[in-house]
Structure 1
Amino acid sequence: MIEAVRAAIEAHQAVLSLLILAAMFVGFLMERLPATVIAILGACTYLALGILDAEAAYSVFSNSAPIVIGAMFVLSGALLRTGVIQRIADAIMARAEKQPRLAIVEVLLGALAASAFLNNTPVVVVLLPIMMKLAEVTGISAKKLLMPLSIAAVLGGTLTLIGTSTNLVVDGIVRDAGMPRFGIFEITPIGLVTAASGMIGLALMWWLLPNDRPIPGAAGTHDAHQYLTELVLGDDDALVGMTVEAFRDLPRSGRVVGIRRGGTVVHGAELDHWTLAPGDRLVVRIDGQTLMTWREQNRFLLGIGGGTPSSNDMVVETMIAPTHPSIGQRLADIPFLQKIRARIIGLDRPLHEAGPDLANVRIRPADRLLVTGGPREVEALRDNPGLIGADLAKTRAFRRRKAWIAILCMAGVVGLAALDVMPIGVAAIIAIGVILVTRCIDSDEAWGTIDGDVLILIFAMLAVGLALEKSGAVAMMVGWVEPLLADAPRWVLVFGIYFAALFLSELLSNNAVAALMTPVTLALAAELGVDPRPLVIALMIGASACFATPIGYQTNTIVYAAGDYRFVDFVKIGVPLNIITGVSTCLAIVIFLT
């Protein structure tokens, strides 16, 4: 009986493979389970039926693409950890204060350029609050700025091989098929056409962008983890005798919201010209990394509470439970401040700016606190039933002195790969070794920057693609298509592959589409006797440059929530933009590469 079943599976494995693939597509579209889970279930089904054997399944882990993608996540994390990205953001905000409308163009072009070399998701996350601030300064609706930010980042990913993980996945499959690897700038001439046509199309369709204001409190309209804190000036601090405007250590994303001197509290317009004196307590809103950097520098006495800060103190992040007995009372009166030697150095309240100062905040459920103290104090916090999840803070101080190392490592990876001195994967792994040894980023943080879902999805879809190839399903699909395209001009092939990849990527994961379509594209090119390289480039860009749905690309999803968009907003802009960039890209491929 078992032998008969095995024989039936082997006889019809191509058809079975396509049925499993169709079931996976339905699963992707229904979104009942995460895409990663569906991909793993599909790969497991091929394994269980014997369509994919163990040796072939293990072979997908020799593909270099996921390794390179993971390495680029870590290198991007090092740039964030060393404050490089924040410095760039501050420079942009400085320009925005003088010429805000020009700054909008500069941010979009900066996102375009940065996304050619960095993972575009953190690029959008970093620039999103800057765009929100520019919307406030210029009076332009944030909805007119956030979608263009995502579009610029996506277009930037088409400029180089490392601009998006999709390109790296395709390159990995191409190399496994025995073709020469892609150079880091090989797709750049075509990518420039894509980016230029996309940005021009965006400018022409600016009037189609929604002009209404995001609903207050919509997801993303509040800067994440902006802590309210207080710092006390020492007698010999450089700021003594100067105005608040001289506070150069304050990033553009932060601000001084008040000054307490004895019983006097100054807020509003008076702040800018207030001359600072020893003992002044500055009330500041600031990001967590800058707050932790100040603590590490030990320049200011931070926060409120008892005890003298010690170098051995730990920083704990915790949350106020709904059952906390002090709900509605002042933060300074919270019981554990009187019972243990601890200091609250920051408070973050989601979707709301707490105040007027740290001591007088009326605490609410879900307020997030940063608390410093010794081992006993930390243990007391963990045992406190009024606090949720008291654990060591994940927010770390910037390591600005290491910034040049992180920059050189990223530049080295790009330069060595571009000059063909060594494969990009090897260069990236060496760069990771350098940034870890020099402590640009700690090992636990480095591994934390890697998006495990992306890597597992890629490995699973590589296995699915291999199963389709080994079962004969790829040959079957090529057999269906080949008669229709045998006498077709080459431009029809380019357009067909590009828009097929584009359509699927609007509905499914870009990486999944790349892993599925690359073997089919290579087999089709071989059957028709044409150069596969132009077709592969069309696939790379088509699978990435998708703008018509908020689920088409991760950055679209981010701004979809942050800008309080409707689904149809993406359709109105994305569909014509897909057509403009698609036609321009395909014509460039046909003219220059075929």
Structure 2
Amino acid sequence: MIDGARHFIGEYQAIIGLVVLALMFVGFVLERFPATVVAILGTCTFLFLGILSGKDLFSVFANPAPVTIGAMFILSGALLRTGTLDAIANRIIARAQRRPKLALAEMFLGVYVASAFLNNTPVVVVMIPIMLKLANALGISAKRLLMPLSFVGILGGTTTLIGTSTNLLVAAVAQENGLDRFGIFTITPVGLVAGVSGILALIFIARRFLPDDAPSQIALSQEHRSFLTEIRIPKGSNLIGRRLGDIPFAKRANVKLVGLKRGASLRRSGLLDEVAEEEDRLVVRLDLSELLSLRANKNIVIGLTAGNDEVGQDDEGIIEAMIAPSHPAIGRRLLEIPFLSMLRVRILGIARFRKTAGPDLPNARVQAIDRILVTGPTEQIEEMYGNPHLYGVGSTSEREFRRSKAPIAIGALAGVILLAAFNIMDIGVAAIIGVGLILLTRCIDADEAWDSIDGNVLVLIFAMLAVGLALENSGSVALVVGELTPMLRDVPPWALVVATYVISVLLTEIVTNNAVAILVTPLAIAIARELGVDPYPLVVAVMFAASASFATPIGYQTNTLVYAAGNYRFVDFFRAGIPLTLAVGAATCVAISLLI
């Protein structure tokens, strides 16, 4: 019986491989299970059937692409941790106050350029709240900015080899199939054509197909992320005598000066032109990451204590907690909250959903579900975990910026790009060395570095590499190539490029792009060789098509991010994404036929 089954599998393994692949595609489309689970189940099926051996399975871990992708995730994480992307966004927001339309154009250009050299997903993550603020400043719906943000990030990512994980993956699979190594800027000419055509199409599409809801509808939902705090300027501070508008942290877009307490008075207007005096208290609204970053500033004292300043603002223990409706301090001033007098702790700030607490930190009236940030000695902080009137007591998920390390993080990324661009070193090796440098210099901590890696992406890549190898071993690829080659024998090369692009882009809209890249690339190479044509144009077509996912919110990760943040409907992506897909696809296919 077993021998008969083995004989049957051996005789029909090419067809069995295609059946397993078809079932995997059904699993991808139905989304009953995550894409990683479907890919792993497909790998396990090939292992169980004996089509894929254990040796074959472990050989996929020698592929350099996933390691390179993981290293680039960490380098992108270091730029986030050091506040580099945040600083760029702040500059653009500052310019938006003077020339909003020009700032909008600069912001999209910045996203395009950044996405060419960083993983575009963290770029979009950083820019979403900035776009919300800019939409509010321009008086337009955030929906008119968030979807273009994702699309521009995708277009920027296709400009270089390192802009997306898909490009690196296709290049690695092509190299395994005998093609020469892609350089970091090999696809840039085509990428620029695709980018320009896409941006021009976006300008046309934005006026006609993007939704236009009430301007403040989405932006208001983000206000609960802002904390209110109070900053005292102590004796000996180097801020004394300086104009408040010239103080570095006051210039940042995620910091807003809302009040100045001097003696018994509280001023609300003309604050930036005031000159700082000793014992001034600045009432500030700011993002959590910025609040954490200011703890290291020795020229200011942040927050609130019951007594004097015996509790440091940068103590080791720090937690975030939510005020329960049963808390006895509800309706009372924050200064009167019981644990503040019972424990040696400092309240760094308070956040309120969709509203701003006030008028200042000590006199803010406590409400249910307010969030507070508290620091103090570890043993004092630990006592707060048992407080029945506080919900969700735990370490904050945010981290402070390490701005002094920004030049190192930027230099590490630039070094990786230059070493790869001039063929001095393989990009994977250069990226790993870059990771070692930023870890050694503590641009980012080790635990943060590993957290910045998207594990789902790497697991999916390894599993799909195994599936691709199984399809090769089973003869499934050869079977498909043998069936398609006679039909394509008289097709001109440009038509092969178009066909490859169309098939890849259609699959990308319903299946994860990395899976499409792994499966279609070897197939395109094999068909090109059978037909006696250059395989490079077809491989580049797969690269671009596997990233050009504009018509659905599930085809690419950045689309999914803005889909949730902008509260879009699924059909919104159809209306704007389909014409953009057609415009970019046509320009890309022409560019590939002429330039590759």
Q: Compute the TM-score of the two structures, normalised by the length of structure 1.
A: 0.94
How far does the alpha carbon of each residue in 1:488-512 deviate from its partner, in whole angstroms, 9 at most, with x for none?
A: 1111110011111111111221111
Tell me what 2:260 maps to.
259
Change (3 A) 1:215 1:202: closer
Tell me what 2:177 maps to.
177
Alpha-carbon RMSD: 2.2
Tell me what 1:133 maps to.
133
Tell me what 1:551 maps to.
554
Aligned-pair CA distance for 1:133: 2.1
> Is the 1:169–1:515 Cα contact (8 Å) retained in structure 2?
yes
Q: Distance in 2 between matches of 1:48 and 1:518?
A: 25
Change (3 A) 1:328 1:46: farther
Tell me what 1:565 maps to.
568
Aligned residue runs from structure 1 range 294-443, under 5 A: 294-306=294-306, 308-310=310-312, 313-320=315-322, 322=324, 324-326=326-328, 328-329=330-331, 330-364=333-367, 366-443=369-446
State the AA in 1 paired with 2:154: V
Aligned-pair CA distance for 1:243: 4.7
Q: Distance in 1 between matches of 2:334 and 2:313?
A: 25
Q: Distance in 2 between matches of 1:534 and 1:233?
A: 63
Aligned-pair CA distance for 1:353: 3.6
How far does the alpha carbon of each residue in 1:352-394 deviate from its partner, in whole angstroms, 9 at most, with x for none?
A: 4444333344445554332111121122122323334433444
Q: 2:504 aligns with which of 498, 501, 511?
A: 501
Change (3 A) 1:385 1:472: farther
How far does the alpha carbon of each residue in 1:37-86 deviate from its partner, in whole angstroms, 9 at most, with x for none?
A: 22112212221222211111101111111111111111111112222212
Report the more deviating stretch, 362-371 or 170-179.
362-371
Change (3 A) 1:341 1:38: same
Q: Distance in 2 between matches of 1:202 and 1:241?
A: 49
Aligned residue runs from structure 1 range 91-130, under 5 A: 91-130=91-130
Tell me what 2:539 maps to.
536
State the AA in 1 paired with 2:318: V
Aligned-pair CA distance for 1:242: 4.8
Tell me what 1:287 maps to.
287
State the AA in 1 paired with 2:557: Q
Tell me what 2:455 maps to.
452
State the AA in 2 paired with 1:265: L
Q: What is the DSSP-based 3-state SS (H/G/I as helix, E as strand, rest coil) of the residue aligned with 2:321?
A: strand
Q: Compute the TM-score of the two structures, normalised by the length of structure 2.
A: 0.94
Q: Distance in 2 between matches of 1:537 and 1:424?
A: 19
Aligned-pair CA distance for 1:178: 2.5
Q: Distance in 2 between matches of 1:514 and 1:18?
A: 17
State the AA in 1 paired with 2:93: M
Q: Distance in 2 between matches of 1:564 and 1:312?
A: 38
Aligned-pair CA distance for 1:422: 0.9
Q: What is the DSSP-based 3-state SS (H/G/I as helix, E as strand, rest coil) of the residue aligned with 1:548?
A: coil
Report the more deviating stretch, 513-522 or 63-72.
513-522
Q: Distance in 1 between matches of 2:7 and 2:70?
A: 40
Structure 1: segments with no counterpart, 5+ residues: none
Q: What is the DSSP-based 3-state SS (H/G/I as helix, E as strand, rest coil) of the residue aligned with 2:372?
A: strand
Tell me the number of residue pairs that the alignment of Structure 1 and Structure 2 aligns: 592
Tell me what 2:54 maps to.
54
State the AA in 1 paired with 2:75: L
Tell me what 2:235 maps to.
235
Q: Distance in 2 between matches of 1:326 and 1:426?
A: 58
Change (3 A) 1:25 1:90: same
Tell me what 1:2 maps to.
2
Q: What is the DSSP-based 3-state SS (H/G/I as helix, E as strand, rest coil) of the residue aligned with 2:576?
A: helix
Structure 1 residue ranges (4+ consecutive) displaced by more than 6 angstroms after TM superposition: none
How far does the alpha carbon of each residue in 1:215-254 deviate from its partner, in whole angstroms, 9 at most, with x for none?
A: 8665995168432221111133344455542332231122
> Is the 1:318–1:387 Cα contact (8 Å) retained in structure 2?
no
- 2:90 corresponds to 1:90: yes
How far does the alpha carbon of each residue in 1:295-322 deviate from its partner, in whole angstroms, 9 at most, with x for none?
A: 1223222111246234882242333264
How far does the alpha carbon of each residue in 1:121-156 deviate from its partner, in whole angstroms, 9 at most, with x for none?
A: 111122222222222222232222222211111100
Q: Distance in 2 between matches of 1:443 and 1:498?
A: 40
> Is the 1:344–1:372 Cα contact (8 Å) retained in structure 2?
yes
> Is the 1:215–1:564 Cα contact (8 Å) retained in structure 2?
no
Q: Distance in 1 between matches of 2:504 and 2:355?
A: 42
Structure 2: segments with no counterpart, 5+ residues: none
Q: Distance in 2 between matches of 1:292 and 1:279?
A: 22
> Is the 1:221–1:563 Cα contact (8 Å) retained in structure 2?
no
Q: What is the DSSP-based 3-state SS (H/G/I as helix, E as strand, rest coil) of the residue aligned with 1:115?
A: helix
Aligned residue runs from structure 1 range 1-20, under 5 A: 1-20=1-20
Q: Distance in 2 between matches of 1:30 and 1:361?
A: 50
Q: What is the DSSP-based 3-state SS (H/G/I as helix, E as strand, rest coil) of the residue aligned with 2:248?
A: coil
Q: Distance in 2 between matches of 1:168 and 1:418?
A: 14
How far does the alpha carbon of each residue in 1:407-432 deviate from its partner, in whole angstroms, 9 at most, with x for none?
A: 11111100010100110000001111
Q: Distance in 2 between matches of 1:304 and 1:342?
A: 9
